[in-house]
Structure formats: C-alpha cells, structure tokens
Amino acid sequence: MATDSPANPLPSDFEWGFATAAYQIEGAVNEDGRGKSIWDTFCHLEPTRTKGDSGDIACDHYHRFEEDFDLLSKYGAKAYRFSISWSRIIPMGGRNDAVNEKGIAFYSQMIDSLLKRNIVPWVTLYHWDLPQALHDRYGGWLNVEESQLDFERFAKVCYERFGDRVKNWITLNEPWIVSIFGYATGGNAPGRSSINPQSTEGNSATEPWIVGKALIMSHARAVALYNKEFRAAQNGRIGISLNGDFYEPWDAQDERDHQAAERRMEFHIGWFANPVCLAQDYPTCMREQLGDRLPEFTEADFALLREAEMDFYGMNYYTSQFARHRDGPASETDCLGNVEEFQENKEGLSVGEPSGVHWLRSTPKLFRKHLTRVYRKYGKPIYVTENGCPCPGEDKMTVEEAVNDTYRIRYFEDHIDAVALARSEDGSDIKGYFAWSLMDNLEWSDGYGVRFGVTFTDYNTLARTPKQSALLLKGMFEKQMAPS
C-alpha cells in the first residue's frame, strides 16, 4: 500500500483515466431519435463559425465505442469520463417531454462495457449541448426558472436509469465557458453577443450573468435531488467541473497587478465556486464591478445551495497567465474583472513553453499553485477532470509524425509531478486525474485542426492510432504510486 509520504505522493486508490464529451466524438446526430442541440445549429450557420466543421460524424464514437474502449484497456486506464447528450435522452429537452429509450440503451451499453473492463465510469450530465428545442421554447439558459427545472428532470432520468452502475457524477462542465463564450463573446453556441460582428442577437453586458445564475441553480437542483432521493440507495459522488487559469501579476512590484491577478481568478472561478462550494454570494469584486447586472440570490436560492452539498471539486486546467490592472472603470461588456491578460510578464518572461494552440503554454509550477489555492479556498477534494495539450505543429503533422508526441509526454509528466507535489508538500487533497482527451476530436469552434488527443484520429478513414503519450501515461502514474 502506497503512503502519502513525499517519496510516494499518490495513494494506491488514486483514479486516473481519460475524458471526452458527447458532441465532440459521438456523431450519429440524426440517429435513434436524438434531438438537435445548440451545437448542431451553431455548426451549420452560414457563414461558418466553426471553420466549416461539425459534429455530424465526429469520431463516430456512437458506432465505435467498443473499439475506443479497447484503447482505454490498452492504455491501462482506471476510469473514463464522458458526457451524456441531453437531447439523445430527452430529444425536446423539457420536463414534460418524452424520454428516448434508444438513447438510454446506448449509454447503458457504454456503461456496461466499461464495467466489464473494470473501468470506472464518470458521467458529465452537461457538456455544453443544450437541446435546441429548449433554446427555441424559452431562451434556454437565459430563462433561469425554466432551465433549472428542465435540467433537474434530465438529471433525475439519468440517476434513475444509470445510477445503479454510475457512482461518479459531474453536473456541469465549465459553466464559465458556457456563459462567456456562448453569451458574451459569441464564439461558442448559441453564439449570442453584442460585441461580435458575426452575432445577430445578444447583450454581452447582461446575458452571461443571467446564464451564470441559471447554471448555478441548475447544478444546485441536480445535487440536491441526488442527495435527497438517490444518495442513500446508490452511494455515489457528485460534483462540478470548473475551468480556470492561475494568474500571476504582470508586474510583480505593482500591488495593483497583484490585486488584478486575484480579481481575475475570482471572476473566473469564484463566480461559480463561491455559490456551489460555499453556498455564498458571488465574490465582492464582481458585485462592485457589475452592480445590478449580476442577478441576486434569494433566500430560497441560498437554502437550495446549502442542500446541494457536493463531494468534490472537478478542476479543468490547461494553462496560466499574467494579469495587469486596467486604469479607469471597466467597460460595460468586460467579463474579466477589468484586467489585461498576457503570456509574458513585464520583464518579457514567458509564463511557459508554447504548445500547438495560441492560448496554451505549459505551466506545471503554476498548476501546483492553482491546485493548492483552490483546495485551501473551497475545501473540497479535487479531481483534475481535464488536463492536456496539443503539440506544436501537430495540426500539420502526418500520423507517423504525430504519434511521436514528445511535447505532450513532457507536459503530462510535469503536470502529474505538480499533482504529486501539491499533495505531498502542500497538503492538497487531490484524488484523481483525467487526461484530455482520449482521441483527437472536434475542438468546438476551432473545428478539427487542433489535436488534443492521445490517440490520432484520421478524419477521412476514422482510423485510430495510439500516440506515445497514451502508452506512457500508465507508467507515469505507477512511478508516482510505487514505493521508493
């Protein structure tokens, strides 16, 4: 049995595996009764907002999941995180709408296949793919009251039909991205924005904050329901996956930049973590900047948040940045906390080694700081529910070149080391790690160019080819868990 001493920082029951999301890999968008999601609509807008790509076929995981699970077994994964397509389960999305039994059967087969392989299923209920019917019916997440009731019903169906075998639930994936990219910048579905020239509808000053509250209360309803009606019998765990970078001051000598770095993290993480982890109001700096554009929580809301006690904090982490304060008041459409973001500091020092996508640099030392900050601030055991990268130039590589993914191997090694150090030296309770992603897939509005997978996907033949990183991850974890 491994101990938690510095020589053996990861315990023997540390969970690790790979993660995916339904719309990015499944395809089969018109098969077996699945309804449209907002991403189906967004990917087919003209002119294109997704580089001409869509999830219509994606990796065809819907027909190939056994082949993909063979890869999980080959890679030695203990666990697999995937999401359930809401509109495959309830095509029209609403609490009074019909359940699609063929959709239930598909995910049931997936879960059974994982369990036969001794791979633990981790289910994300919502990974960005709102049923289009709900967006059409009442504005989707813009209707705080209706959306949370419909999400609660969707969650209940999933608990009822899969909870006998699924013991690990994630309510929402990255509500910050849903709110900001979907309703402020307009870069993601449903593409609403008043500052994006490609968008025809939206109000970037108000809509992201309304959507944020809808997501927070939807999460709360799903967790409270699980606690009240399913936990005792099913004996599972439930949490949320929040994204967020770690920020350091652009000018280490300027107190205003220190404050900007902390404020940026409050706008990124505290927005959701304060209510869902602590049953507290939004961070003070958000109230000060946004005023009455930030929806209030009622006493009934706080009561529900207190009932929604969750088991873990899911952390999606990719990179870190420098924050520089802005002089003067924030613009009405600012959603960052009135800061500027940089990948180099005042001295020109890079935050980390560049990857294959412009926004991501490898920052393992700041990952360690991030893990410890989040654990100390919110007090929940942490599962790293996403972490990964594309290699420099990988989007232009042949399969023979891409499988030799030395940058990704180094990225994983360094970030797994950071997890081990955060546990053994900083006292942070980190219980699991999911690499993003099992295979190259639709990178949302970036289409199929950017490759995050540990498996190379040939999008013409849909052949899968393991990259070296996939085959080496098991060894990385065994090294951390092995006796010295």
Classify 394 in phi/psi space as left (phi over 0), alpha (psi -120 to 50) or beta: alpha
Please count the other Cβ atoms lying within 10 Å of the Cβ belonging to residue 484: 8
Of the candidates 260, 241, 270, 114, the residue with the CA atom closest to the CA atom of residue 172: 241
Contact 56, 27 (CB under 8 A): yes
174 has catalytic annotation? yes
Candidates 52, 35, 34; CA nearest to 43 is: 52
Is residue 65 within 8 Å of 117, Cβ to Cβ?
no
CA angle (175 as vertex; 135, 339 as ends), nearest 5: 120
386 annotated active-site: yes
Left (φ > 0), alpha (ψ -120 to 50) or beta: where does 337 sit? left
Pairing of strands 339-342, 320-325: antiparallel
According to DSSP H, which parts of 35-188 are helical?
38-42, 61-75, 86-89, 101-116, 132-138, 144-162, 175-183
The Cα 1–Cα 14 span in angstroms is 12
Q: Which of 26, 146, 266, 386 is catalytic?
A: 386
> What is the Cα–Cα distance from 238 to 124, expressed in whole angstroms?
10
* Closest by Cα among 318, 311, 312 to 418: 318
Q: Which residues contact 296 (CB under 8 A, 6 or more apart)?
A: none
7, burial (CB in 10 Å: exposed 0-12, middle 13-18, buried 19+):
exposed
Residues tagged active-site: 174, 386
